[in-house]
Amino acid sequence: MTRLDADVLVIGGGGAGLMAASEASRHGVRVAVVLKGQRERSGATIMAPGAVAGVGSWGRPGDDRDVHFRDTVVGGAFMNEQRLVRLLVDEAPERILELERMGALWERAEDGRLYLLRIDGGHSFHRCVYLEDRTGREIVRTLGGLLDRRHVPVYENIMITRLLVDREGVYGAVGIDLTRAESLLFQCRALVLATGGAGNVYLNTDCPADVTGDGYALALEAGAQLMDMEFVQFYPIGFLHPPSLRGVLAGLLYYSHLLNSRGERFMQRYDPERLELSTRDRVARAIVTEVAEGRGSPRGGVYCDMRFQPPGFIARQTPALYRTYRQIGLDPEKDMIEVAPTAHFFMGGLVVNEDWAATVPGLFAAGEVAAGVHGANRLSQNALAELLVSGVRAGRSAARHARDVRWRPADPGEVRREEEKVRRLLASSGNRGPRPWQVREQLKEIMWQHVGVIRNAQGLKAARQAISRLRGEVLPATSLATATRLWNADLRQALENEMLLSVAECVLEGATQRTESRGAHYRSDYPDTDDAGWLRHVVLQRSGDGLQVSFRPTDLSVIKPEGM
């Protein structure tokens, strides 16, 4: 067993984690970052092609931070915690400028004076800075270089499997070195979760393979509260073909028209004013409706059409996507792409306050793993803005907390529990039980069929029965292909499956409780939005082997739905 110490431990190496580590390192505390993959090759931020929303000096006439605030809350169907949204819109512009001072590049006009800006679904104005289709990569590159200059250690290929908690709060974590299946004990005074979402709980997702809901599951087992887990955003245009790219983000809505099998630009029926720039939940449901009513493409989707753009435009604006198109034999200037919704982003997560502190002392959250900012549906481009703002606030708060609490030695017994789990899984090799990939596929299919874009009581009941069987019978019978400790992919997937199953149970519970349709949560048996009964969060907390459900009112301190 290896023991490592830090005042502030950051779990996750995407934009939120790196921003939190960067900020914490400014406050005279020892900081360490742990990530499940490799630097600048794991997490979701590195794949984000879009932009960063914020209204600074570059704002267009008529736009301001109050408009951005309203867009975000209305787009989130009034489920947002408005005090957190206010922090987002007020602080994002400075974070954008701060990143540029660190060395990030944003697209500018030819004279170099003004930012070029994008607009996407739910925004009223062009307000989002970007760099081609590699905005997220630029954020990670910049922050990674900063941490190197500050000598912040980054530990790669380590999966955290348990948070250590006592009556005073979080004081460490146990991890597994995935290269050789050895245990590591991290001791800390404060811990920041920045582990992203859980897109891999669904059959189609544009999330990287390592995004498996670890933070939600770890926090739940540590006693933290989660909320809004029923709100899962499906990006409208993921690849349907070829199979190797199924679910991967296939294009950017602001450069595309969506057509059905009749050649109709069908968003005219669903949002004639905003069309493809409607909120993502509405576009995703429109696609599902077109397919269900017989106007879909041969593979069960619709068509993404970029042929109306001038020659060279797509290659210039989205060079990475353009290379992908050409590698699979598509020319976006001549061909349409078959697309369908794909699991993209979790609006729910840990309950946090204005410091992005969770409900367990010493535990903080940044980025997608935290709830509250986006409500029932995230506006495009707000994710990168959120990870910058929440990363700074969580990192600063964790550093302050670390200075104020005493050092508590970790219990080696906690490590032995995790080591026993690994030994038990390795000993299963050669048995006739299901392989981890088979368990994963069963779970993804259940969630896609019954807890996806459109839900109802019958499907949710079927999902509950199937997931209960997975939990009680299938998961315990998991068998690995080999007992090797060196880069055992089956072992990693088996550990991740436990995380994903916990996430699935949370999404299912939230979706069952919420008997209305709001934002990304749509129930065909309750198709209307019920402001009188459901302007409240579904809050989940672990209780024994199950989930304890409670409710808390939504923050309506600034604006309310019409008629209230």
Query: Tens digit of pLDDT for each residue in 319-335?
Result: 999 999 999 999 999 99
> Is 280 considered catalytic here?
yes
- Per-residue confidence band for 461, with pLDDT thresholds at 50, 70 and 90: very high
Q: pLDDT tens for residues 216-266?
A: 999 999 999 999 999 999 999 999 999 999 999 999 999 999 999 999 999
**Catalytic pick from 86, 95, 189, 280?**
280
Q: Amino acid letter at 166?
A: D
- Per-residue confidence band for 414, with pLDDT thresholds at 50, 70 and 90: confident
What tokens appear for 10 in the block?
Answer: 């950051």
Q: How far apart are alpha carbons 163 and 517 in whole angstroms? A: 35
Q: Is the pLDDT at 518 greater than 90, yes or no? A: yes
Q: How far apart are alpha carbons 117 and 317 in whole angstroms? A: 12
Rg (CA), the chain: 23
* pLDDT for residue 522: 97
**Mean pLDDT, range 288-297, rounded to an integer:** 96
CA 113 → CA 53, 107, 464, 486, distances in Å?
19, 10, 56, 52
Q: Is the pLDDT at 158 greater than 80, yes or no? A: yes
* pLDDT for residue 42: 86
| Percentage of the residues of the chain whose pLDDT score is greater than 70 | 100
Q: Which residues contact 559 (CB under 8 A, 6 or more apart)?
A: 70, 73, 78, 82
Bridge-based pairing of strands 169-177 and 158-166 is antiparallel
Is the torsion defined by CA of 447, 421, 194, 537 positive or negative?
positive
pTM for the full model? 0.96
- Return the DSSP state at 108: B
Q: pLDDT tens for residues 202-221?
A: 999 999 999 999 999 999 99
Average pLDDT score over the chain: 96
Q: Is the pLDDT at 103 greater than 80, yes or no? A: yes
Tokens 């069929």 locate to: 449
Q: Is the pLDDT at 110 greater than 90, yes or no? A: no
Q: pLDDT tens for residues 9-54?
A: 999 999 999 999 999 999 999 999 999 999 988 889 999 998 999 9
Q: Is the pLDDT at 355 greater than 80, yes or no? A: yes
- Per-residue confidence band for 401, with pLDDT thresholds at 50, 70 and 90: very high
